[in-house]
Structures are given as structure tokens and as C-alpha cells.
């Protein structure tokens, strides 16, 4: 029974053996947890660029992956999602150095932070989990288009079910709850994916070759709960019922490489299969409004 239960917890696995020869992947926050496991798997297939805030940790992870996979093309670049200047610097360097980009995995995230703001004055969860990745995707979009077929993969969460986009108090200045702030930011990931896919489909000449999907990795035993003593404690107690980072990475890998998703876009996956999206995550009006508010906050024009 224990074995069966463990197998159930592990969830779906990515069966694809697709190679990414000559292809370039960018993944954010890949120095720990599911990001690191995603990078490890993709490094067996092609070139991986790891964009992280903590260079020391990222280098340690990258050298471990290089040693294990024999792939020297695991490159670390500095990028802090809590600072738009850092995101722009990363993108500028990347575009100068790399002529192609085939897969962008917006994986990094913060969870349950005490109230704080990013360098640009955004509430931390919204700023890092949504706005930082929104800006990064915007800056790398042309390169993705030129390299089509290309994929954008946004790591969201089941927590999006508890989220609402509170336009009247986006930065939680009137009312803040760190658990809900996380849920709101994960809903933003789902809505961003939906609207991005809609816009990409409108540009029919590269429609089938350019996809954007979101996913829930599962409840994973990772460092993500480090800001909460209670959650850290619960995670330890219930670790048997949590996915390992490797198991948690499977759906990210699936969305990045699975051949059957070549022309699938705007979807949300869990355990390597389509999953249920909350009614708020399917609201096109909210998705459009979030898009224009995000552009305003970031000072960009993205039509």
C-alpha cells in the first residue's frame, strides 16, 4: 500500500526522449528544487542557460550538472527577477551572445515572503513570479519567434485556485496575506499564459510553431517554503506525501519537449496531462486587463 501511495504521489512522468541538438533553453531559478532538476534533464538533450540571482549557488548546481551529463553547455547568467534593471541587463547580454532561443522556462518563484517590495516597488510575489517573467518574456520574444518552433513554459501552481487579481490593491498595500499573495501571483501566471497564447495565435504566420503553456508541478519537497516555519515543519512531517524535486520537474520537462505538444498552446498541465483551471484563470477580460496593467507597471508597449 505504501508503495502504491508513493507511486500515486509521484504522478506523471515525461516519457519523451526528444533531443535538443543545437537548441537553446533558458530557465530561470534553476539552482535548486524543480528548476535544477529540469535543467539537469534538459542538459542531457541540449544547451541550457541558467538565469539566477545567486551566482554562487547557480555555479555549484551547473558544475554538478555538467559533470553528471557530460554537457559543457550549461551556462550560468546573473538575473534578479526582483529588479527590472537586472532582467534588462540579462536580456541584453543574452541577445548579444545567442542568435537563437527555442525554449524559455519561467520557473523561478518566491513563496510566503513576509511583506516586501522589489527594487521597482512591486509587491514581492507579484513582482518576481509574474511581472519579472512577463518582462523577461517580452524582451526575449523576438528571438523566440526567429527560432520557431519555440515554446514558452510558465510554472504556475494549483494555488492559482485560491488567487484573485485585486486590481484595486495589486501591491497588497491595503491588505496583505502572504499565502494569498502567492496564490494571486500564480493566478497571474495562468492568465498571462492564456493571453499570451491568444495573442500569438492571432499572428497566424507563426501560429503552430510558437506555443505558451502553464503547469502545476505538484506539491514538491523543495526550498520554496523556507520563509514559513510552520510550512517547513509540515513539509518535513509529510515528506512521504510530497513529490521529490525530480518528480516535480516532470511536467515542466514534458511541456518543454513532448512532441505531442508541438501545436498545443494556452493550456494548463499537471502530472504531464491537461488539468482543471479555476474559473478566474479562464476569465479573458481579467487576462486582458492584467496584460495592460502589467505593461503599464513595467513601462513597456507590448501589442
Catalytic residue numbers read 182
- Angstrom CA distances, 48 to 51, 93, 131, 227, stand at 10, 15, 23, 29
DSSP strand pairing (268-270 vs 273-274):
antiparallel
Cis before 261? omega within 30: no
Place of cell 510552520: 230
Taking the C-alpha atoms of residue 87 and residue 51, their distance in angstroms, rounded to an integer, is 10
CA 69 to chain centre: 23
Contact partners, residue 129, CB within 8 Å, separation at least 6: 109, 110, 182, 185, 186, 188, 189
If phi > 0 it is left, if psi is from -120 to 50 it is alpha, else beta; for residue 272 that is: left
Taking the C-alpha atoms of residue 291 and residue 134, their distance in angstroms, rounded to an integer, is 9
3 state SS of 204? helix
Contact partners, residue 204, CB within 8 Å, separation at least 6: none
Amino acid at each position: 500500500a505504501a508503495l502504491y501511495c508513493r507511486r500515486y504521489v509521484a504522478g506523471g512522468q515525461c516519457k519523451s526522449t526528444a533531443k535538443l541538438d543545437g537548441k537553446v533553453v533558458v530557465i530561470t531559478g534553476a539552482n535548486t528544487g524543480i528548476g535544477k532538476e529540469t535543467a539537469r534533464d534538459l542538459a542531457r538533450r541540449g544547451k541550457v542557460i541558467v538565469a539566477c540571482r545567486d551566482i554562487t549557488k547557480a555555479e555549484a548546481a551547473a558544475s554538478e550538472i555538467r559533470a553528471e551529463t557530460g554537457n559543457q553547455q550549461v551556462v550560468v547568467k546573473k538575473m534578479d527577477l526582483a529588479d527590472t534593471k537586472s532582467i534588462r541587463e540579462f536580456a541584453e547580454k543574452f541577445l548579444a551572445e545567442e542568435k537563437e532561443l527555442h525554449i524559455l522556462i519561467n520557473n523561478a518563484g518566491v513563496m510566503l515572503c513576509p511583506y516586501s517590495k522589489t527594487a521597482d516597488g512591486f509587491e514581492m510575489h507579484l513582482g518576481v513570479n509574474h511581472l519579472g517573467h512577463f518582462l523577461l518574456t517580452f524582451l526575449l520574444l523576438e528571438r523566440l519567434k526567429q527560432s520557431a518552433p519555440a515554446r514558452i513554459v510558465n510554472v504556475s501552481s494549483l494555488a492559482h485556485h485560491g488567487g484573485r487579481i485585486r486590481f484595486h490593491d495589486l501591491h497588497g498595500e491595503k491588505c496583505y496575506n502572504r499565502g494569498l499573495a502567492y496564490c494571486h501571483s500564480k493566478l497571474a501566471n495562468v492568465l498571462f499564459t492564456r493571453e499570451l497564447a491568444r495573442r500569438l495565435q492571432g499572428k497566424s504566420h507563426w501560429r503552430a510553431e510558437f506555443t505558451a503553456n502553464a503547469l502545476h508541478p505538484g506539491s514538491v519537497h523543495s526550498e520554496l517554503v523556507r520563509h514559513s516555519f510552520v510550512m517547513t515543519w509540515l513539509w518535513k512531517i509529510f515528506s512521504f506525501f510530497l513529490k521529490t524535486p525530480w518528480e516535480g520537474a516532470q511536467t515542466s520537462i514534458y511541456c518543454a519537449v513532448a512532441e505531442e505538444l508541438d501545436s498545443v498552446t494556452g493550456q494548463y498541465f499537471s502530472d504531464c496531462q491537461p488539468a482543471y483551471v479555476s474559473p478566474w484563470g479562464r476569465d479573458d477580460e481579467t487576462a486582458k486587463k492584467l496584460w495592460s496593467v502589467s505593461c503599464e507597471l513595467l513601462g513597456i508597449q507590448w501589442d
